[in-house]
A = this chain, B = another copy of it.
Amino acid sequence: MKLEPIGVIHSPYKNIEDAPRQGKTEDTSRIEIFETYKEGLKDVKAWKHLIILYWLGKAKRDTLLTLSPFDSKIHGVFAVRSPHRPNPIGLAVVDLIDIKDNILEVSGMDAVDGTEVIDIKPYYAKIDGR
């Protein structure tokens, strides 16, 4: 199971300390999709919300228990959204503002500048919302 980056995120957050809590931001980020994958963006513009999967390259992958910032207790990594997990894939639901050529302008992205993008999926409220 090997992944290839399809693009890179340009965000206002230079370090992990600058990044907002997951999704809690109205800042805009730019998602640059590499030329090789650009054709896959056809009709993405029709969607208001997108699910972005990205690679948390600095994560510790051998962590199974972790402190949560919300209650200062130890939880299993699958019960929290910590970047430190066996397969460090980040997920953000973002609002699509615009697409120009191979650049998506979005809000609601919490990833640090330079984060590699793995996948983009349309968000369907009927199946993805609860």
Contacts and interface: CB of A to CB of B under 8 A. Distances in A.
Q: How many copies of this chain does one complex carry?
A: 2
Given A76-B39, A130-B123, A87 B118 contact: yes
Contacts of A57: 1
Given A24-B127, A79-B46, A129-B130, A65 B40 contact: yes
A55 B93 contact: no
A41 B86 CA distance: 12
Interface residues of A, number: 56
A77 interface: yes
Given A40-B77, A43-B75, 16 more contacts: A1-B2, A1-B55, A1-B116, A2-B3, A3-B87, A6-B86, A22-B124, A23-B126, A41-B79, A42-B79, A44-B78, A46-B79, A47-B79, A53-B87, A78-B119, A81-B122
